[in-house]
Chains A and B, each alone.
Chain A
């Protein structure tokens, strides 16, 4: 269980990026966090990853308080961030340095096969396409078998076809060990295709606005009417979240803001 309790972040320059964000995420759940720019999505993800410390509240994974990167928590960034001096295989095995070489080789080989890049094992990262590179990044994050995998707009730099391909592929890979996935995105389609729950955030300061549960069976048909219904719901929530006249659903302290206009 990943528990976020009143997580807040104020940067040293005074920017109040995130305020009192709370959520409980059971193992294996897929969460999509969506919201306009400046709503603290990435801040939240970096706090869960332990890359930046929250300035208020706490992140706990199975009773361990997260203040720095944790072995059970992996992260995939918007860019693949492969190490250009390592081959594709060595990039995937980067997080396995502590394991004996034969086990490492075996795991890397199976991961390569799983993402369909066995023939690229000894290629340099610069020789990969954007989609291939991001698949290597996914493999690198999954190979240490994390319990929680964080994804920070992982497919936003890719073209629409590759993106759709990788979304399906991600679900495939997720089904192997069913880690908790927390995905930050600004793509409504992506959120509805992947997530069990969509958390809609609102900006300035970033906070939770609405939670939408997507109880659709997988694999989800992007063209079905039900899919559209959920998409519309998320879109409506997004629109409302950016409308300053709408009060926070979960808010207890918006009296000041209600009088703003």
Chain B
């Protein structure tokens, strides 16, 4: 009986609460868009009204127009594919090497003491300092670029995997021991799931660095790729082309990061994520 009396009251309080929740779901990201959109429209207006010629800082419509032109001529796809291939190959190599080395160092104390100081010392070198050496060793074509990206990706992955393994809760590992898991079963059933959240974070950081280094690699010398578009735009005085390349970098970077997030989401549903409920 008490339930039937309570129900209408509950609905009353629930209804007005749901509306702001739905509103804020769209309003919150929209709020973040406000500043860039106002700036872009403002600039468009300033150029449109003739207060500025917009030669060095082209208005958004000009940038968009450049992207469309590049896309129509097929140039854009060629550059994007070249860059994507480099990032993909470098990222894959860096992830493989970083995961293996990180896992060995995290799992095996002797290996950590043997290898970690060297890796940490190498990490202290600004990665761009490798460029001349890589060009000498590997030539100026694809190999040296992929190697540079792989080096950039390697370190966050290595550190992430090693740190994640080292911080696996001993008490949870003990549960595995109580149930007498074999070595491989312990890795598969306890260590891998325990390490996964930190690994996904490491992958995302690594990918971010991969995008950073592909620009560096392509600025050094390339005949195609988004980095080449940047350089070409500078040398030929086409700021719209530079901005177009930057915009596409931003879109691709966000998109690939989102792909990792989406791919990992079903495996991480168990986490009590801060962001899962719209993160207050």
| Chain A partners chain B | yes
Chain A residues in the interface with B (C-beta under 8 A): 49, 51, 68-71, 74-75, 77, 79, 81, 83-86, 94-95, 97, 124-126, 144
Cβ proximity bits B189-222 to A, threshold 8 Å, 1 near / 0 not = 1100110100000000000000000000000000
**Which B-chain residue is minimally distant from A49 (CB atoms)?**
B178
Q: Are B270 and A85 in contact (CB under 8 A)?
A: yes
Q: Are A69 and B178 in contact (CB under 8 A)?
A: yes
* 8 nearest A-B residue pairs (beta carbon): A85-B193, A95-B179, A85-B270, A126-B272, A124-B270, A81-B175, A69-B180, A69-B178
Q: How far is the CB of B199 from chain A (nearest CB, A)?
A: 13
Q: How far is the CB of B35 from chain A (nearest CB, A)?
A: 37
- CB neighbours (8 Å) of B272 from chain A are 126
Q: Are B180 and A83 in contact (CB under 8 A)?
A: no
Cβ proximity bits B155-187 to A, threshold 8 Å, 1 near / 0 not = 000000000000000011011011110000100
CA distance A79 to B177 in the complex (A): 16
Task: Pick from A68, A77, A85, A94: contact of B179, CB below 8 A.
Answer: A94
CA distance A74 to B180 in the complex (A): 11
Task: Pick from A69, A83, A94, A125: contact of B177, CB below 8 A.
Answer: A69
> Known pairs A97-B185, A124-B269. 5 more at Cβ < 8 A?
A68-B180, A69-B178, A81-B175, A83-B193, A86-B270
Q: Are A71 and B172 in contact (CB under 8 A)?
A: no
Interface SS of chain B: helix, strand, loop or mixed? helix
Q: How far is the CB of B186 from chain A (nearest CB, A)?
A: 12
- CB neighbours (8 Å) of A81 from chain B are 171-172, 174-175
CA distance A97 to B189 in the complex (A): 10
6 A-B residue pairings within 8 Å (CB atoms): A69-B178, A77-B174, A83-B190, A94-B189, A95-B179, A124-B270
- CB neighbours (8 Å) of A126 from chain B are 270, 272
CA distance A79 to B172 in the complex (A): 10
Task: Pick from A74, A85, A97, A124: contact of B178, CB below 8 A.
Answer: A74
Task: Pick from A69, A74, A77, A125: contact of B171, CB below 8 A.
Answer: A77
**Which A-chain residue is minimally distant from B180 (CB atoms)?**
A69
CA distance A84 to B185 in the complex (A): 17
CA distance A19 to B165 in the complex (A): 36
Q: Are B178 and A79 in contact (CB under 8 A)?
A: no
Task: Pick from A51, A77, A84: contact of B270, CB below 8 A.
Answer: A84
Q: How far is the CB of B201 from chain A (nearest CB, A)?
A: 16
Q: How far is the CB of B167 from chain A (nearest CB, A)?
A: 14
**Which of chain B's residues 141-161 have a Cβ closer than 8 Å to chain A?**
none
Task: Pick from B172, B185, B269: contact of A83, CB below 8 A.
Answer: B172
- CB neighbours (8 Å) of B194 from chain A are 85
User: Which of B174, B178, B194 has the most chain A CB within a 10 Å cutoff?
Assistant: B178
CA distance A70 to B171 in the complex (A): 18
Q: Are B180 and A51 in contact (CB under 8 A)?
A: no
Q: How far is the CB of A71 from chain B (nearest CB, A)?
A: 7
**Which B-chain residue is minimally distant from A137 (CB atoms)?**
B175
**Which B-chain residue is minimally distant from A78 (CB atoms)?**
B171
Q: How far is the CB of A122 from chain B (nearest CB, A)?
A: 11
CA distance A255 to B270 in the complex (A): 58
- CB neighbours (8 Å) of A94 from chain B are 175, 179, 189
User: Which of B179, B189, B272 has the most chain A CB within a 10 Å cutoff?
Assistant: B179
**Which A-chain residue is minimally distant from B174 (CB atoms)?**
A51
- CB neighbours (8 Å) of A95 from chain B are 179
CA distance A83 to B185 in the complex (A): 14
CA distance A124 to B269 in the complex (A): 9
CA distance A86 to B194 in the complex (A): 11
